[in-house]
Amino acid sequence: MMSAVAAGPAVTGLATGFSLILAIGAQNAFVLRQGLLRSHVFSLCLFCALSDALLIAGGVAGFGLIAKRLTWFPTVMSLAGAAFLLVYGAMKLREAWRGDYAMVLAGVSPTLWKTIAIAAAFTWLNPHVYLDTLGLIGAISTRYADTADKLRFGAGAVTASFVFFFSLGYASRFLAPIMQSAQAWRVLDLLIAVVMWSLAVALIGGL
């Protein structure tokens, strides 16, 4: 059994991971939507969690210090991320405007590879994910001089990502009973469009 001392870094990593990932964002909204469709949920949650794991590992390994030296990196990622969010938000707004949800209500969703491609864009074109994982988590991990403690901290943060994404993806199906009408899906897509555009404006405004 892990001692209280050894559990410290792991618990800190778990709490840090949850605190960073709980905010409603583009990636979370997409996972929620796919969860409601019950389509490619496992693959999508696994991809998002593994992506976080790679970034967290990079932050704990000290790559955050390298990222800070690339002064052009935040600007490029912000512009690319904002462009994608604006386009995706416009797509959701168009779907809400058209109101044609026959395929959605029938359970039809994008193919697995298209789903993963969209998730990849939400993940890797989001500059905040780099600030959170490579920057913040990397910075917090520096308080642990011992390599074993660093690994425990990183493992805790990675665990938070896995628990969150799989919980979001699979728990969202409990909302399915209230998503049996085109009107409900229209409201959801409108909310997603607002989230996407708000995030895009925030990214551009931060330049």
Instruction: Name the average pLDDT for the chain.
Output: 80
Q: Any idea where the domains of the chain sit in the sequence?
A: 10-205
Q: Is residue 4 over pLDDT 50?
A: no
Confidence of residue 105 (pLDDT cuts 50, 70, 90): low
Over residues 9-42, the pLDDT tens digits come to 888 888 878 877 766 677 888 898 898 888 899 9
Q: What is the mean pLDDT of residues 2-13?
A: 64
pLDDT, position 24: 60
- DSSP readout, 79-146? HHHHHHHHHHHHHHHHHHHH---HHHHTT----HHHHHHHHHHHHHT-HHHHIIIIIIIHHHHTT--S
23 class by beta-carbon count within 10 Å (0-12 exposed, 13-18 middle, 19+ buried):
exposed
Amino acid identity, position 128 = H
Confidence of residue 49 (pLDDT cuts 50, 70, 90): very high
CB contact set of 14 (below 8 Å; sequence gap of 6+): 156, 157, 159, 160
Structure token digits, residue 133: 């994982």
Over residues 176-193, the pLDDT tens digits come to 777 677 788 888 888 888
CA dihedral 126→129→135→140, nearest 10 degrees, is 170
Q: Is residue 114 over pLDDT 50?
A: yes
Q: Which of 73-82, 163-172, 197-206 has the lowest mean pLDDT?
A: 73-82
Cα torsion 170, 174, 180, 186: sign:
negative
> Residue 10 and residue 166: Cα distance in Å, rounded?
20
Most confident of 3-17, 57-71, 112-126: 112-126
Q: Is residue 102 over pLDDT 50?
A: yes
